[in-house]
Amino acid sequence: MKAFKLENEPKIESGFKTPEHYFENFSEKLMHKLPENEPKVISLFQKNKKTFIMVAAVLIIALLIPVFYTSTVNVNSKEIDTATLENYLSYQSNINQYDLINGLEADEINNINTTIALEDATIEDILVSNGNLEHLIIE
């Protein structure tokens, strides 16, 4: 095999050459080739401004409908349902019947008092079917 030496062998010249004084006048030539007046830029929002505003209004209204609905429902239902109140007092609170009676006024107690006409047969059926007679006697 033949010895290869880089310094002694003839060098291959590149196929690319720059013209003389190319980089000296480059910026001037480029500025002459550019157009002097700039093109007019048209914004998408300016062209379809009415459409954009209508779409934004519809989205805002669609997002605010649930807020208005819940606020009007809460305003209209300030009174507590009687069944809900009875269930709460029966199962959730530690209030017994004597506490409730002490909280009532005399005219309210008179409105509650009603005459219940029970026949003897009905009372006997209740006493027979209810095995917890001691609890009824204590109350």
pLDDT bucket at 131, cuts 50 / 70 / 90: confident
> Would you state the torsion angle of the CA atoms of residues 45, 47, 49, 55, taken in this order, to the nearest 10 degrees?
-80
What's residue 76's pLDDT? 54
Nearest to 129, CA basis, from 138, 121, 118 = 121
Q: What is the pLDDT of residues 79-128, one digit of tens each?
A: 777 888 788 877 877 777 788 778 888 888 788 777 777 888 888 888 78
pLDDT bucket at 46, cuts 50 / 70 / 90: low
The domain segmentation of the chain, as residue ranges, is 44-76, 82-138
Average pLDDT, the chain: 78
pLDDT at 67 over 60: yes
What's residue 59's pLDDT? 94
Helix (H/G/I), strand (E/B), else coil: 100: helix
Rounded (to 5) percent helix, strand, coil in the chain: 60, 0, 40
Report the pLDDT averaged over residues 31-50: 75
Report the pLDDT averaged over residues 48-62: 88
